[in-house]
Structure formats: C-alpha cells, structure tokens
Structure 1
C-alpha cells in the first residue's frame, strides 16, 4: 500500500508541475497578446457577489437596466452561467490616459468623452485576443473554453479581485497596484483545473477621494453605487430624458464620466496605456459642442465608427450634447440648441428646449408658440416649464 500511495503522490506531483508550467506559459501568451496582468480563480470564489447583486437590484439602483434583472440568476456565479467551468482566467489591459482627463471639464464649449471610449471599441480590441489565447490553451492542454468581454452575464470585477488583479475600490471599479483605476477586463472560462492565485488585499485605506469628487453623489456609501445618479449611466445606458434635477451636475460630460477614476491615488504608479488601438482618436479628445450638435445619424455613425460611443445611437448622444450646451453658459451656443427644437428625435427636442431656456430664456419664450402642438408628452412638458411659454 505504501508503494501505491507513493505512486499516487508522484503522479499528483507531476500533474501539479505540468499545470504550473502550463500556467506560466499561459501568462506569457497573454502578455504577448498585449494584456498587462493575468490571474486565475475558482468559479466559486465570489460567493457574496450574487448576494450584493440582489441587494443592488432590490434597491432599484440599476435604474432602467432591465437586462441586469433578467440575467441576475446567471450573473450570480460562473457555474450558474456554465456548469462545466472549473477555472476562470481573468485578464487586464491597461488603458491609462496620456493626459489629465479632468482638464476638459474646464472647456465648457467642448464635450468630455470618457477615456475608455475615445479609442477603438475595447470589446472589438480585446475579444479577438481572448479567442487567440483560448485557442492556444485548447491546443496545449485540451478542455473547453468560453470567452467574455463585458457582454454576457459575468461579474468581471469580483472575479478579477478574486484572481489577484486588484480590488474593487470604494468607487466599485477595479483598482490595481500597477495600473490604478485604468484596466479593461476580459475573462476566459475553462474546464481545466488550473492553479488559482491569491486575491488582492483591499488597499483603499482611509482614502475617499473618489466618493468626494462625484458630481452627482452617486455613492450612498463606500463600495456602493446608485446607477440612477451616475453620469456614466445617465449619458450611456439611460434611454429617456435625463432627469431635470441631474442636468446641471453633468456639466460638459457627453459620454461617461472619469472623475472617480481619475482621482484615485493608485494611478500615480500606472504608466499610460501603450496599445495603439486604444489610443484616443483626435475627434474624441475635445470635440466642439456646436459641431457635434450638427450631426445627423449618418454623420454620427461615421464620426464614431468602431468606438463605444456609436453604440448609444445618435439621439441619446445629441441629448447629451444639448445638456452640455445648456450647461456651457455660452449664449453663442443658443442657436445650436434652437436648430434642434424641430429635430425628429423627441429626446433631442426635449433637451434642446431645456438648453435654449438655460442660455436664452427670452428667445425660448419667443419661439414657444411655434411648438404649441408638440406631440410628445415629455417634450411638451419641457415647453410647459419654459418661463412665459
């Protein structure tokens, strides 16, 4: 029996050596594909993620993101999504900016686009690389795989924390010792049993800079987000008119918000992202609001082709541009708002009424009678709130 036990121990030792070698080569392959950090975790390593998700949904903090409710059961754990998964490979790609992303907020006549959306759509950049790594893994060790980039019912941030890529900061985003708050995440689920990494320790300490800077007080407590007050949600996910009480707080942010990310002290250790495809396009660095307000659907699609911005659609984007115009304090932009009072999109028309009223209330009152027959109730309400309308 002793000899049999020794044989089992030897086989287990060889298997562990083989898996450790495979993991080393996997990390090397991922680095060759441009990923900056790689970690592995077990699919059952985030037992509290589902509980916290249910609390988030129960509070209604997801706003009108109904897809979160619809996928909650599968999202709760990797095994609920794919019962065969045995290991989760989490990969991070640094997209740190080469500039201060908050400087643009001072240029009120220009639109601020979130750093992640200024270059090529990260989904399209990352997914082919994940597939290449997955194919390599199958060729090397067999098994089955699935790859995900923020498009399926996968809770990437808790899994990335469990895999040692970093920790979820008080702003609920991933924070890395090496790359601060600037990491794109991708996941590879596999049926292989790979050696897992240790989770990273939360190192936010007593810092609460990310909570203090939020323009809309979207964090009811550290580590908790109310998406209904988040500018990224309001300008990207929210489909209807932006609530009136939130509009002035948005400033000139026309797609997303970087404030809580940009002030993270851990960013000082991060190098700027070096991936050419993720580099900011010139048209997205500091576009003029007046020029953006002229975009029709075709021009919008052309300008933001292959970027994340395109996925919001022209109408929501123009809504955001008009909110920024209304916040600019620049009366010279009033004509840009007035031109859109008759836009085909009710979203644009309603935002145009608000923007014109902010910049030139007398002009808004003067033209109001021309739009007395407004068919959309939300736009009609905007007109009703115009002084002397």
Structure 2
C-alpha cells in the first residue's frame, strides 16, 4: 500500500486542475475584512445604482463568516475564458453587435458550479469537514477573497488580474470548516499603467481602484431596467451586452498561457451578430438564440433596447427600417429606444413626420423621446463610431 506524503492542499489543487479549473488557491478567514468598508463607501455614494440587492445584503458581505460562522478556510478557484483575438475588433463594424466575451458561451454560473460540486464531492470523503460552494450568486465578496488567497489582485479597473490568466477568468469559491494552509496574498502589480481607466468610453472610474457602476456600460446594458440615460447612449457604440474594453487593454493578458481546449468556448453565432437580425427577435426567438446563455436573464425587451441604441449609433440609414418596425412594439422601453435610433438615422423632415404619426403614444417615457430635438434637427453631424 502506497501512502501519499502530499499535503491536503497539494491533493486538492491537483484534483481541481484535473476537473478543469485553471487556478486553485487557499486562504484562512481569520483576519478583518477591509473590503466591507470599501463596499459601504460604494453604496453610501449611490454608485451601485439600481442594484439594490447590494445594499440589502451588505451585512452578509462584511465578512465570509457573516454568511457562515463555522467556516475556517476558503478554496478559491478560477477558470480561464480568454478570447482568441482582441474583442475590441468587433467595435470596428458598427452594423454588428459587440457582446462581452464572457457572455458568448454558455452561462458560466452553471458550468463552474458543476465543477465546484464535483470538487466538493471528492474532498469531503477524503478530508472531512463541511463545505459550501459559491459562484457569483450569493453575497460573498469573491474578488477580495481571491486576492487574499493569492489568485490575483484587484486592478485599477476593480476587476481581478492574474499573473497567469490576465483579466480573463471566472471565480468560484468553496468555504469549508477545514483548516487549510493559506497561500500568501497577492500584491498589486499594475505599476504606473492606467490603460484600463483611459479606455473607458463612459469615464466610469472616478479614481483608480474605484468604479461608479451607474456609468459603466456593463451596468447600463445589463442591470439597468429602464431607458439608458441619453448622456451615455452614443458612448455605447455597438456594445449591446457588457463591455470588455478595460479588460482587453490590460497588458497582463499577454501572459495568460492556458491551453485553448481548456477555455470556456464562445458560440460562433454570438461573436459579432448582425444588428438587423437581432432587432427582429421576438421573445421565442430570443430565448432560442440565447438558450443557456447569461444574456437570456435580461429578457428580450431590455436586449432589444440595447440593439436599438446600437442601431442609432451605426450611422447606417439602411438599419432605419429595423428600428421603424419596432415603434409599435408592446414594450415601452423598446419603443423609446426605436424613437432615439430613428432620430439619429432619419432626415429631420422624415423624423418629424413620424412624430406626428405617433403623437398618440400612451407611455410618458416614450412621449419624452418623441419630444426631444433630434441631433439632425440641431444640425449635428452623426459620425459612425471610431475604430478601436
């Protein structure tokens, strides 16, 4: 009989890698949790916007043990989803949609949770203890936890950066009653680089290491339920679900060396789909296209809202027909976005005629869209988005 001399941590790490994780680190839960104070400042400043669940669960986020008092250690795991090419290339064709890289494949919550549960089932018979698995669906501050475990550091864009995986990886965690040997925490390795702050189209970073979600395109296109504020619409360009700009410019990405077959795969149909085709989706076809995708959770109406803003930014008058066909859509948020798109694409006279035709619009937000002076009424020149 061969007796293994490997430590529990070595054995757990080896099993995690065998299950498809790309990194595995450990930390204890003994120290104070400064991330709680940063979260409180974020919420007090109102930077969480409509994400009221962040304020509602703030007490449970103040420390991992606030969620589970018996937990002694955390196993932090990462899965690479790095793209094969620079995702900003999708911005060069304003008639096609840019979907955030993480949302181009199956929903990572389900993919990672199944691996976490498999690791937990392997772990308990061998080492005992109790476990609970988490993947971005519970009030656990996973990025600070990962930083403590040495999985990476929170960069100036507030996202986690790894020396092995760059900015492109998902996190999952297992809290356990086991006492595992902690890995050393990771230091910040951003140096003087501020590329992620400078590239943001909406200036969502009020200072390094701080984010105002209300200005972030990911928040605006995913979390915000109503019309997107007019001040941000042009800056969306053709980004219809999330934004990868701050991640894509990080120089640490070039050090991400992970076998291609191990990455979470993107669907070809979601790499840069046609705006015209997306605008034609009804609820059933939306659900079919985005089956098992994280995009599905925002629903068809919010998604079409985003598509219409992108159509308005395209500078392509040929897309006006797709927008006009949605002026009678049942959803007010869709009708309002269609009005804005047409105000950007149509000659002033044609838009004014449509305004008269739809003067009986019942929704106040949509009436407000019709009431705005169009850029062409004001003599503004509509330019297509600049290439990245």
So what's the TM-score if we normalise by structure 1?
Answer: 0.93
Pairwise CA distance, 1:363: 2.3
Pairing partner for 1:200 from 181, 186, 192: 186
The aligned counterpart of 2:137 is: 151
Pairwise CA distance, 1:21: 1.3
Matched, 1:241 2:221: no
Task: Give the RMSD, CA atoms, in angstroms.
Answer: 1.6
Matched, 1:88 2:65: no
Which residues in structure 2 correspond to 1:259-278 (within 5 Å)?
Answer: 259-271=245-257, 274-275=260-261, 278=264
Write out per-residue CA displacement over residues 157-207 of structure 1, whole angstroms, 9 at most, x where no aligned residue: 000000000100000000000110011000000011111110011100100
CA contact (8 A) 2:80 2:263 kept: no
The aligned counterpart of 1:10 is: none
Matched, 1:113 2:85: no
Pairing partner for 1:379 from 366, 371, 381: 366
Q: Which has the larger radius of gyration?
A: 1
Which residues in structure 2 correspond to 1:1-389 (within 5 Å)?
Answer: 21-45=7-31, 47-271=33-257, 274-275=260-261, 278-360=264-346, 361-387=348-374
CA contact (8 A) 2:156 2:196 kept: yes
Pairwise CA distance, 1:46: 5.6
1:220/1:20 Cα in 2 relative to 1: closer, same or farther (>3 Å)?
Answer: farther
In 1: Cα distance, 2:146 partner to 2:183 partner: 10
1:216/1:328 Cα in 2 relative to 1: closer, same or farther (>3 Å)?
Answer: same
What residue ranges of structure 2 are gaps of 5+ in the alignment? 378-388
Judge which range, 221-230 or 42-51, deviates more.
42-51
Pairwise CA distance, 1:136: 1.0
In 2: Cα distance, 1:45 partner to 1:340 partner: 55
1:369/1:274 Cα in 2 relative to 1: closer, same or farther (>3 Å)?
Answer: same
What residue ranges of structure 1 are gaps of 5+ in the alignment? 1-16
CA contact (8 A) 1:160 1:166 kept: yes
CA contact (8 A) 1:45 1:162 kept: no
Pairwise CA distance, 1:100: 1.0
Judge which range, 237-246 or 43-52, deviates more.
43-52
Aligned length: 372
Pairwise CA distance, 1:43: 2.0
CA contact (8 A) 1:46 1:159 kept: no
Structure having the higher helix fraction is 1
- SS of the counterpart of 1:299? helix
- SS of the counterpart of 1:125? helix
